Each structure stands twice: as C-alpha cells, then as structure tokens.
Amino acid sequence: MNYIKIDLERHLGQIHPHIFGGFAEHLGRCLYGGIYQPGSPLADERGFRRDVLAALHRLQMTIMRYPGGNFVSGYHWRDGVGPVADRPARLELAWRTVEPNHFGTNEFIQFCRQLNVDPFIVVNCGDGDMREARDWVEYCNGTQNTTLANLRRQHGFAEPHQVKYWGIGNEIDGSWQIGYKTPEEYARAYLEFAKVMKWVDPSIKLIASAVSSWRAEYVERIQLLIEQAPDLIDYLALHWYVGNPENDFAQYMAVSELLEQRLSAIEGLIQAVRLQRGITRPIAIAVDEWNVWYRMQGTTREELHDLEEKYNLEDALVVAMHFNAFIRHARSVKMANIAQIVNVLAPIFTRPDDLFLQSIFHPFELYSRNCGRIALDAYWSGDTFSSGDYTALRTLDVAATLDDRARKLSVFVVNRSATQAQETTLKLDGGQFTGTGCAWIVNGPDLKAENSFTDPNRVGTTEASVTTRSTSANFTFEPHSVTALSFDL
Ligand code: AHR
C-alpha cells in the first residue's frame, strides 16, 4: 500500500512553461523530411508538413532550440538566408554530410510562429566568431536603418523577429565539438560574445553552455563562467542522455537518482559561487538537451543511423521521470528541451507519406497538458525497490502541481514496478476535492512495447475516473505506467 500526502500550501516554486521545450537540429531527417518537405502533398505552401505540425501542436511545446547541437559549431547563418536558389551547399563536419541550407533562420522563425513557441537560437562559438554572433542578433532583432536589419526586410520580414533566447555555443566542453574550449577559453569567449550580443539587443536572455561531459571538470567550468560573466548569464545549459544498454529495468528506473543528483549538484554550485562572490542576480538551469539515447550510438554514419532511435514503454517511463524531476526542481530549472522533435531522437517519426507517434510522445503530452504553474512538495511512501548501490527507492515516482487560478491539482505518478499494480491513498491538506477526479494513463502491453507504422497504438493513453471523498482519494496505479491524476479543488 502506498501513501501520497499533498499540502496545497507547501510550494516548491513556480514552474516555467519553458520546461516543455523542444530542439530541432540540422541533423538526419529532423528538418528535411521531418518538419520540412516542400513539394509533398502533406506540406503547406511554406513546405512545413501539416501532419507533423498537428502532432507537435498536441505536445503544446513552448520554446524551440535551433539550429544545433553539434551542427551549430560549424554553421554560418548567412548561408541560410535569402533566396533559396542562391544558398550554398556546404560540407557539414559534425554529422559528416552536406547541408543544402534550404532551411534557415527565417524558415525557423516561421515554423515557431506556426507552432506558437518562442524561438531560441544558438550561435556558433566553435568555428564562428563574436562578430558573426552579434550580426545574427542584429539581423533577427534589429529595428534601425542598418544594413543587417535592412537585409532581413529585403528577405521579406519587415518586423523584427524579436528572438529573446540566445545560446552561446553547444557542448563546448566536449572533444567531439568543432572548436572545443577549455574552461578558461570558454569563460573568456562567453564574456566577449555575450557583451556584444547584449549591446546589440539588451533585452535578450543568454544561455551558457555549461555541462555535457559529466566526467570532465564541470565544477571549475561553472565557477569560472559565473565569476567572469556574472551579469551576462541568464541560464546555465546542461545536457544529458540516458538509456538502458544493459537491459536492466531496475537500473534504468533508478535514473531518477541521477537526475536528482545532477540537478541538486548544479543548484548547489550556482548558489555557492553566487554567495561567495555576492552575486544577487538569479542564474537558472536550462536542461536544453535531454532524452533517451543509447541505441543509435557510434562514430560512423552507419552506426548512428541518423539517430533514429525507436522508443519503447520503459523509455516513456524515463521521459516521465524527467518531468517529475523538473517539477521538483522548479525553482531552478526554468527551461528544458527534449532532444529532438521529429525522427532524430524524437517523439514523432515520419516517412514521406505518414507518421506515427512514438511511446515517448504520450508522457510529454500528458505533462504539458496537465501541469499547473506551482510545484507542490508532495510527500510519499510505500513499496520500494533496489538497484546496485541504491536501496529503498520508492516504487512510485511522484510530482504534484497546482493551477491556482483554475483551482486544479495534478498528481503525476510513474509506477516503476514491472509486475505489480500499486494501490495508493492520496490525502490532501489545505483544501478539498470537489467531484470526481480524472486519470490519464500511459501504458502498453509490456516494457518493450513500441509503436510503429503497422502498430501505432501499442503504447498510448487511456482515461479513467477517480472517486474522491472530501480530502482523500484512492487509486491503483497499473504496473509500468505513467498516470496524471487531475482534481478540481
Ligand atoms: O541531439 C543530438 C546531439 O547530441 C547534439 O547535436 C549534441 O549537442 C549532443 O551531443
């Protein structure tokens, strides 16, 4: 028997809607053949796949990161603006291919407007320089009579794009990156890039590339960055990918501990440096690349398979645990971008004439639809499991949110038992349930169940009702499931 207790007055922090972010890179079939397929009967007049847009709309994403990823460290934005026929095809070294540059800044902005998401552009801090970065800000956001703002107007965009979120470099701590930088080199480059970009448009928010290599010297890297550019960092970007290469379900489910450890460590580090240096400005965390990625790994194109990972039910549970962690760390995690959105490590998988929704689509939809604006400090106890060094891990992984305007409580629960349903009593403090609650359950026949073109609904969402009594409710969570409970208060 499990027990979840929620006190409506115990707030952990405000949840930023940007935790439901996406990421679209020039990589494999994410853009070309995913989002963008001009000439296809499925595409609109701009070349955007209507079916893909409709599926993305269901996810209610809020922000989109672009154009990379590793790609951006060799990308020069001028190649991707102006008449398509005049754009150069370039050798692309990050993924060893040829980039036609048919999709560029303006196509990206139009895509964001269509999806109603905030654009988030990462500048090239690999083989690009600060002049190119500041010029990109001016091209996008310039309002004066300057050559770059006029170039945008000449390209058909009279109004500024008003891109507010700008990342400086991608995974700059990794040897695989074009233009890898040591902590000292990056802190120095960041400061100079950030300075001129903000001078062009002081309203922009800047994201520093902090950690992707979790075994490298990230403590030193973050300390240097904050010390050298305390007034110019709005977010520190973290990246991670997780997986189940050993095919050990319990070990995979214990990934929640890794997420907690990493987020708590970075929160503590930011706090420590701010305290030591008397920095009063807040610095948030942006987990601007995260997902499951372990199957399509390697160094050659053949091994990588354009990163077209096929996801199963256990991956969907792991995606849900990410959202639980982001909610529990709502005070510091102000942005998170699933990597990526279509075909490449993605919840949506296309072929020229169709698409299907991968298992991980369903938890994303569940959370973005039901998440309130306030993270609540849920207490829970009950059945446990062990994995390796971890003992007494609670079988349920829980997060709770409050929508204070609509007076709605949402409780998100991942049942990490492969075989056991989990009977649970929910107790409420500081309010009362009114009427019957609703449950949306993501599940499938077994842990390895996947969706495909031939069987698109093996993993999906079902609905049930939840009986309530004043301040309590009972619910039995299905084995290997993700559930969102929603209650009117
Ligand atoms: O999302 C795929 C790749 O993963 C990105 O290009 C890179 O930033 C990360 O290593």
Please spell the DSSP secondary structure of 69-123, one letter per residue.
SGGGGG--GGGGSS-GGGPPPEEETTTTEEE---S-HHHHHHHHHHHT-EEEEEE
How confident is the model at residue 300, as a pLDDT? 81
For CA atoms 90, 91, 93, 95, give the dihedral sign.
positive
CA nearest to 168, candidates 102, 72, 300 = 72
Per-residue pLDDT of the chain (489 residues; tens, 9 = 90+): 999 999 999 999 999 999 999 999 999 999 999 999 999 999 999 999 999 999 999 999 999 999 999 999 999 999 999 999 999 999 999 999 999 999 999 999 999 999 999 999 999 999 999 999 999 999 999 999 999 999 999 999 999 999 999 999 999 999 999 999 999 999 999 999 999 999 999 999 999 999 999 999 999 999 999 999 999 999 999 999 999 999 999 999 999 999 999 999 999 999 999 999 999 999 999 999 999 999 999 888 778 899 999 999 999 999 999 999 999 999 999 999 999 999 999 999 999 999 999 999 999 999 999 999 999 999 999 999 999 999 999 999 999 999 999 899 999 999 999 999 999 999 999 999 999 999 999 999 999 999 999 999 999 999 999 999 999 999 999 999 999 999 999
One domain for residues 87 and 111: yes
For residue 22 and ligand 1, the question of a CB distance below 6 A is answered with: no
Spatial contact of 478 and 443, defined as CB atoms under 8 Å apart: yes
One domain for residues 368 and 387: no
Which residue among 23, 29, 122, 170 is best mutated to probe the pocket of ligand 1, counting the most ligand atoms within 8 A of its Cβ?
A: 170
Helix, strand, or coil (residue 302): helix
Active site residue 289: yes
Q: What region does 169 belong to: left with phi over 0, alpha with psi -120 to 50, or beta?
A: left
Q: Compute, in angstroms, the gap from residue 193 CA to the centroid of ligand 1.
A: 22
One domain for residues 447 and 365: no
Active site residue 171: yes
Strand-strand pairing, 437-443 and 460-466? antiparallel
Look up the CATH number of the domain holding residue 67.
3.20.20.80
Q: What is the pLDDT of residues 241-265, one digit of tens each?
A: 999 999 999 999 999 999 999 999 9
* Alpha carbons 108 and 112: distance in angstroms, whole number: 6
How confident is the model at residue 301, as a pLDDT? 78
pTM: 0.97
How confident is the model at residue 303, as a pLDDT? 85
One domain for residues 328 and 437: no
Which residue spans within 274-407 are E strands per DSSP?
284-292, 333-339, 348-351, 354-357, 374-376, 379-381, 384-387, 390-394, 396-403
One domain for residues 309 and 400: no
Helix, strand, or coil (residue 8): coil
The total of other beta-carbon atoms located within 10 Å of residue 460's CB is: 16
One domain for residues 82 and 145: yes
Among 339, 372, 405, the domain-final residue is: 372
One domain for residues 184 and 54: yes
How confident is the model at residue 298, as a pLDDT? 85
The number of distinct structural domains making up the chain is 2
Q: Give the type of residue at 311.
A: Y
Tokens of 387: 């994995």
Closest Cα to atom 8 of ligand 1: 69
One domain for residues 444 and 322: no
Among 352, 372, 392, the domain-final residue is: 372
* Residue 473 φ then ψ, to 5°: -150, 150
How confident is the model at residue 412, as a pLDDT? 98
Among 372, 405, 437, the domain-final residue is: 372
Closest Cα to atom 4 of ligand 1: 69
CA angle 464, 466, 469 (to 5 degrees): 170
Spatial contact of 104 and 80, defined as CB atoms under 8 Å apart: yes
For residue 289 and ligand 1, the question of a CB distance below 6 A is answered with: yes
**Any bridge partners for residue 237, and if so which?**
209, 286
Look up the CATH number of the domain holding residue 388.
2.60.40.1180
Out of 138, 171, 314, 365, which one is annotated catalytic? Answer: 171
One domain for residues 24 and 109: yes
* Residue 63 φ then ψ, to 5°: -150, 150
One domain for residues 468 and 366: no
Domain extent at residue 484: 2-8+376-488
How confident is the model at residue 302, as a pLDDT? 79
For residue 340 and ligand 1, the question of a CB distance below 6 A is answered with: yes
CA nearest to 24, candidates 355, 339, 360 = 339
Q: Give the type of residue at 22.
A: G
One domain for residues 334 and 206: yes
One domain for residues 343 and 388: no
